[in-house]
Chains A and B, each alone.
Chain A
């Protein structure tokens, strides 16, 4: 199956910095993804519709109310096996370890946008949705 970028896949993006969040949304929508953007973990978990529709979850590690790994674990309780990408500026060992254990792909800031996008696309192809 060949997929064009976007192809109306649904992405849920969580980032507490509004500027950055808007940037993500615009970038992915431009590539024909459907994007649900949230500034806090609580907001994500409250939006059941978005979660049911999601094909992938992209979250910042540093959220005000929760960290990204915790959020991804909770979301996966509702959507088991949902592909997830974690973004963080911290290069701490324990964060990497937790992410690896949870099966989460980790990207460090500053962000290489192309690499993230390529990964998202490839992950969606792998999951076959």
Chain B
């Protein structure tokens, strides 16, 4: 701690040191006066300074005279400024803090600080007044006076002096100060320029430091120094408005610090900016509030404090009666950890005491959010802190990852929002816990809250405060029971504390009501008082403490008189002289005892010579703070005779009355004199007492001051103590760590299974482990002996030599060492001391005997494995995770035709090309990923030949179970694969080609089925027969033929067995019959070998059906063609006949009208009838043609027909049409005697069809012609029909012969024409074709000459 302070400079006064330039004359000297609570304020003040250029600070802190102060160190801790203790004659420098030493007064004279013997024996030292006054005298307006916390009024006078000298006067606000006596006294002088919290004092002083060349008096009125609208106050009032919490009495420094966090959190640089933001952001109030109330807590935080609390609680509960209540209030419960801790303590105590107590725990807080969490009672394991596992087990329930308190604890706690400052407290409590709440409050508020707690607690109730609460203890009314734990007990007596005033917020109305009631009560109290006076002392006067009459009751005035002289209300002078003395005595007694006192009955003579006996009574009355006395007068009438109890002196005296009188008078005189004496003595005593009292007063003040000093010292001590505690803790921790490290070292040494020796530079054994003890048979006694001198079981000479070498060369070495048939790897490792010099060596003996053996073993095995892998016919490779070959056996090299150098380091892609390589790589990846072995069949094309490999891949795992390589073992299965494929193809073909196949093997007596497949043999197709259930030929046949009634299964079987190849077609099913063909054939693979019988089923239903359908179709076509040809001809005929008929109809109609109209002109009629005749002739022609044709055709029969006649008849039928179209028809038949063997109607039909087509094709031509040309070939006759029409477009030439093809309008033809014509031609053994390449549109009909050929063709066609 001392390092932090400037080195003290005892030999040289400050003004002589260094060069003149190094000294900085301060512009201002700031005198700082402080007393009790000053340390805190000073630290806070100086904490605000970094560097100061123009100010010099002089601290006048009241200190205990005998105490060596550590104030310098304490302040130095807080500030970057230099801090020095004042020595007499120092010249203050700028930027330095000077601290007055204890037991000295301080003055500034001629620019130097002078230490003086304290002038006052009594009173605080140094005197702030004295220093400030000297400051004012010396510096005038360059003086700055600052008053900080403290009791008393020192400094007030000095402040006035500085102010008078035009200096600047500052003072900590009384509310901010821990003790407000001094600041308040200073403020009351009216000479303080600014009264500010400590932090702002610091900033203001900094401003003064920065204000270059300006006078303080300017600064004083400078707006910049004052915070007219302090944003702090504004924020607090807004917070009160929004959250309903008044924080104005909370410790400003704390609240400000919290506020600043929000300022920074919101990204503002000043509180004022934040205040604006705060005003416009509703949600911020809640956030700030939470920030201010932030509380870190845990279960059983401060275990010691809780332990102390537990014992107190236990004691109380042990004393409590069964059935009584135990009431607890936890104020400021936050998130509930503390409440529940206390609840657990109470529960534990109750269980321990074995009593039934009603436990009631109130937990309150301002923060609703925190209360919400507290009510749930759910916590993370981390927040359980140092709670014992037993308690956790007992009171918590695991709830997912959190722990929830059990209901017995949660139910005993009542949570409520409660403002400690303004809401009424709970009463009759046994325990109040209020931890780390008071630290937020300023002194005044703390006191009030403590009063509230006092009021709430039962006598002997416990108050449990937080560790950091610097008690500033609950003044009176509490007694500390545990200083560490901050536990207090409420005293039975009220002490100095009064019932707290509970401020009821926002209930002004109720307050007003209460006030009214109070007034009423006071009035009624007056009347009660009067009644009481009436009854106790009807005639009485009320006098003040000063014996002045305040009020007269009843007839008391009867007994009073107004004495001569100045009017007075002094009661002693108003009462009759006879009782005046007694009254004075009575008043004295009453005031002393506080009880009513009664005097003697005395004879008195009242004015107007009334005589009576009077008895006085004095009753002390307390009215508020005042003390008053009621003096009652009681009268008794004078008895007729003297009382018997008259003094002996009287009764015994026989003297004459005059004598007696004289005697009495002289006696009286003596008594009076003696009384006078007594009175004088009393007054002297009084004066002495007064003097004594004054002495006491001053002593008291001194004590007060010493107490304050003590307080300061105590604080310092506390701070020192805390540092020491911290240090001690550190040392403890280090020590613990060291011990742990030692233990670990020992553990490590013994855990190391190989021998270990540790030697120093001189080869002296320092340490060894159990293994070394065993091997070398060294013992504890050998420690510190040289390695050479130890009688080791093994010869260590070589080791020692090695060791020496190592030490000389300063490097680590190792050595193979054999001894006792064991092999060791000896390692020497040097170790160094903290300075880096070699301090010794660690020698380890790692036994390698087994290792070497294992190594040899491993080598042998490796060779074995290599031999196996190199000589196996399988391909073996290893690839790393990148797919790079790391190993390939000789077979692999041979197959791929590459050397090891060509293979290793390459990947599959490089070796086998992109496609094959990546497939293999994928398989490798799978294995690496899954870490499972896999088997697959792969194709590898080598030299253009595909080869199949059955590859087993498996991962090679390292020590961490990670796959680092893939090993592949591949077998060439190409031949097998080929066979399998062939077999598969064969099987598929077989099952596709046949509807069923069964192969029997001739074994023993019977044929047994060995293969069977196909849909006729049941679904799903069966390729293999179950073992042990051989199907015999007979069974199969019977099953197959069971529905075929007409086939004899037995006969078929017999034929098959006889070796005959047989085939039967049979029908199965009746609803939808199917035909099945069954064929059987026998084969043997080699001569005399096994005979196989192959049974093939073929579903021939479609063929059978097709045949039938074809037959039906042929018949239908025949019918249709006959009908169609008749229809064609009929249509043609009807047109040929209808048209002339229509003309005839019209003409006959005309003729009728002419006749009817009588306008029958003979010529015209003649012409009309000629026309009609002509038309009838036309019709005749047509009919004749038809007749002729039908005559030729003897009902669908063929005959030999003369061709010319056939053509002519045809032309007669179409003649009308050709004429109508104006088409020129020419026929070239050639020879007349050409006959054709045909059905003439059908051939006529073909020709009509062809001619009609020609007419249609030429209708838009005016020179249209049609030629029919007949030519003879050797075997055939050719009839060509040509026209000069538009022809047949090439794209439809192909289609014109197909049925229903037509280019004509739907009404013109059926579309069957050409197709039908071709059919007819073919049935005649001829052909009809379209000559595509002819010059004109030409259709050629060819008919065979040979009737047999025609007949044969017809037969074939049908």
Q: Which residues of A contact B (CB under 8 A)?
A: 16-17, 19-20, 22-24, 26-27, 30-31, 64-65, 67, 89-90, 92, 94-95, 109-111, 113-114
| Interchain nearest-CB distance for B1148 vs A (Å) | 9
Residue in A26, A31, A95 with the greatest tally of chain B CB atoms within 10 Å: A26
Given known contacts A19-B1175, A26-B1150, A94-B1306, A109 and B1138 CB-to-CB distance under 8 angstroms: yes
* B1143 contact from A19, A89, A95, A114, Cβ within 8 A: A19
* B1145 contact from A31, A90, A92, A113, Cβ within 8 A: A113
The 4 A-B residue pairs whose C-beta atoms are closest, nearest first, are A23-B1146, A19-B1143, A113-B1149, A20-B1143
The complex places the Cα of A90 from the Cα of B1306 at a distance, in Å, of 11
The complex places the Cα of A89 from the Cα of B1130 at a distance, in Å, of 14
Asked if B1332 CB lies within 8 Å of chain A CBs, one says: no
**Is the beta-carbon distance between B1306 and A65 smaller than 8 angstroms?**
no
29 sample A-B contacts, Cβ–Cβ < 8 Å, listed by A number: A16-B1220, A17-B1142, A17-B1143, A17-B1220, A19-B1143, A19-B1171, A20-B1142, A20-B1146, A22-B1171, A24-B1146, A26-B1146, A26-B1150, A27-B1146, A27-B1150, A30-B1150, A30-B1154, A31-B1153, A65-B1260, A67-B1305, A89-B1134, A89-B1138, A90-B1307, A92-B1306, A109-B1142, A110-B1141, A110-B1142, A111-B1142, A111-B1145, A114-B1149
**Is the beta-carbon distance between B1139 and A20 smaller than 8 angstroms?**
yes
**Is the beta-carbon distance between B1307 and A95 smaller than 8 angstroms?**
yes
**Is the beta-carbon distance between B1307 and A113 smaller than 8 angstroms?**
no
Given known contacts A27-B1146, A111-B1145, A92 and B1307 CB-to-CB distance under 8 angstroms: yes
Given contacts A19-B1140, A27-B1153, A110-B1142, 6 further A-B contacts (CB under 8 A): A17-B1142, A22-B1171, A23-B1143, A30-B1153, A64-B1259, A89-B1135
**Is the beta-carbon distance between B1146 and A111 smaller than 8 angstroms?**
yes
Residue in A23, A27, A30, A89 with the greatest tally of chain B CB atoms within 10 Å: A23
| Interchain nearest-CB distance for B1172 vs A (Å) | 10
* B1146 contact from A31, A64, A90, A113, Cβ within 8 A: A113
Chain A residues in 8 Å Cβ range of B1306: 92, 94
The complex places the Cα of A109 from the Cα of B1146 at a distance, in Å, of 12
The complex places the Cα of A114 from the Cα of B1135 at a distance, in Å, of 22
The complex places the Cα of A64 from the Cα of B1308 at a distance, in Å, of 12
Chain B residues in 8 Å Cβ range of A67: 1305
| Interchain nearest-CB distance for A44 vs B (Å) | 16
Asked if B1147 CB lies within 8 Å of chain A CBs, one says: yes
Chain A residues in 8 Å Cβ range of B1150: 23, 26-27, 30
The complex places the Cα of A25 from the Cα of B1309 at a distance, in Å, of 31
The complex places the Cα of A98 from the Cα of B1140 at a distance, in Å, of 27
Q: Name the CB-closest residue of B to A27.
A: B1150
The interface on chain B, measured as residues whose beta carbon lies within 8 A of the other chain's beta carbons, has a size of 26
The complex places the Cα of A17 from the Cα of B1142 at a distance, in Å, of 10
The complex places the Cα of A26 from the Cα of B1159 at a distance, in Å, of 13
The complex places the Cα of A24 from the Cα of B1143 at a distance, in Å, of 8
The complex places the Cα of A95 from the Cα of B1305 at a distance, in Å, of 11
The complex places the Cα of A90 from the Cα of B1153 at a distance, in Å, of 28
Q: Name the CB-closest residue of A to B1222.
A: A64
Q: Which residues of B contact A (CB under 8 A)?
A: 1134-1135, 1138-1143, 1145-1147, 1149-1150, 1153-1154, 1157, 1159, 1171, 1175, 1220-1221, 1259-1260, 1305-1307
Chain B residues in 8 Å Cβ range of A17: 1139, 1142-1143, 1220
Chain A residues in 8 Å Cβ range of B1157: 30
**Is the beta-carbon distance between A110 and B1143 smaller than 8 angstroms?**
no
Q: Name the CB-closest residue of A to B1140.
A: A19
**Is the beta-carbon distance between B1221 and A23 smaller than 8 angstroms?**
no
Chain B residues in 8 Å Cβ range of A26: 1146-1147, 1150
Residue in A20, A27, A110 with the greatest tally of chain B CB atoms within 10 Å: A20
Chain B residues in 8 Å Cβ range of A22: 1143, 1171
The complex places the Cα of A113 from the Cα of B1150 at a distance, in Å, of 10
**Is the beta-carbon distance between A65 and B1142 smaller than 8 angstroms?**
no
**Is the beta-carbon distance between B1138 and A65 smaller than 8 angstroms?**
no
| Interchain nearest-CB distance for A122 vs B (Å) | 18
Q: Name the CB-closest residue of B to A16.
A: B1220
The complex places the Cα of A90 from the Cα of B1309 at a distance, in Å, of 12
Q: Name the CB-closest residue of B to A19.
A: B1143
Chain A residues in 8 Å Cβ range of B1146: 20, 23-24, 26-27, 111, 113
Chain B residues in 8 Å Cβ range of A27: 1146, 1149-1150, 1153
| Interchain nearest-CB distance for B763 vs A (Å) | 131
Q: Name the CB-closest residue of A to B1174.
A: A19
Chain B residues in 8 Å Cβ range of A95: 1307
The complex places the Cα of A67 from the Cα of B1175 at a distance, in Å, of 25
Chain A residues in 8 Å Cβ range of B1153: 27, 30-31
Q: Name the CB-closest residue of B to A92.
A: B1307
The complex places the Cα of A87 from the Cα of B1265 at a distance, in Å, of 29
The complex places the Cα of A22 from the Cα of B1175 at a distance, in Å, of 13
The complex places the Cα of A7 from the Cα of B126 at a distance, in Å, of 158
Chain A residues in 8 Å Cβ range of B1139: 17, 19-20
The complex places the Cα of A110 from the Cα of B1140 at a distance, in Å, of 10
Residue in A19, A30, A95 with the greatest tally of chain B CB atoms within 10 Å: A19
**Is the beta-carbon distance between A64 and B1221 smaller than 8 angstroms?**
yes
The complex places the Cα of A52 from the Cα of B774 at a distance, in Å, of 145
Q: Name the CB-closest residue of A to B1149.
A: A113
Residue in B1146, B1154, B1171, B1221 with the greatest tally of chain A CB atoms within 10 Å: B1146
Chain B residues in 8 Å Cβ range of A111: 1142, 1145-1146
Q: Name the CB-closest residue of B to A18.
A: B1220
Chain B residues in 8 Å Cβ range of A92: 1306-1307
| Interchain nearest-CB distance for B203 vs A (Å) | 108
The complex places the Cα of A19 from the Cα of B1171 at a distance, in Å, of 8
| Interchain nearest-CB distance for B836 vs A (Å) | 121
Chain B residues in 8 Å Cβ range of A19: 1139-1140, 1143, 1171, 1175
Q: Name the CB-closest residue of B to A64.
A: B1259
Q: Name the CB-closest residue of B to A117.
A: B1149
Chain A residues in 8 Å Cβ range of B1307: 90, 92, 94-95
Chain B residues in 8 Å Cβ range of A64: 1221, 1259-1260
The complex places the Cα of A24 from the Cα of B1142 at a distance, in Å, of 10
The complex places the Cα of A109 from the Cα of B1221 at a distance, in Å, of 20
| Interchain nearest-CB distance for B1160 vs A (Å) | 11
| Interchain nearest-CB distance for B206 vs A (Å) | 110
The complex places the Cα of A92 from the Cα of B1220 at a distance, in Å, of 23
Q: Name the CB-closest residue of A to B1157.
A: A30
| Interchain nearest-CB distance for B16 vs A (Å) | 137
The complex places the Cα of A31 from the Cα of B1150 at a distance, in Å, of 10
Chain B residues in 8 Å Cβ range of A24: 1146
The complex places the Cα of A111 from the Cα of B1145 at a distance, in Å, of 8
Residue in B1134, B1139, B1145, B1147 with the greatest tally of chain A CB atoms within 10 Å: B1139
The complex places the Cα of A31 from the Cα of B1147 at a distance, in Å, of 14
Q: Name the CB-closest residue of B to A87.
A: B1142
| Interchain nearest-CB distance for B1265 vs A (Å) | 16
Q: Name the CB-closest residue of A to B1164.
A: A26
| Interchain nearest-CB distance for B1133 vs A (Å) | 12
Chain B residues in 8 Å Cβ range of A110: 1138, 1141-1142, 1145
The complex places the Cα of A26 from the Cα of B1305 at a distance, in Å, of 32
Chain B residues in 8 Å Cβ range of A89: 1134-1135, 1138
Residue in B1138, B1150, B1171, B1260 with the greatest tally of chain A CB atoms within 10 Å: B1150
| Interchain nearest-CB distance for A27 vs B (Å) | 5
Given known contacts A67-B1305, A89-B1135, A23 and B1259 CB-to-CB distance under 8 angstroms: no
| Interchain nearest-CB distance for B1157 vs A (Å) | 8
Chain A residues in 8 Å Cβ range of B1143: 17, 19-20, 22-23
The complex places the Cα of A19 from the Cα of B1138 at a distance, in Å, of 12
Chain B residues in 8 Å Cβ range of A65: 1259-1260
The complex places the Cα of A109 from the Cα of B1143 at a distance, in Å, of 11
The complex places the Cα of A16 from the Cα of B1217 at a distance, in Å, of 11
The complex places the Cα of A34 from the Cα of B1141 at a distance, in Å, of 25
Q: Name the CB-closest residue of B to A21.
A: B1143
Chain B residues in 8 Å Cβ range of A16: 1220
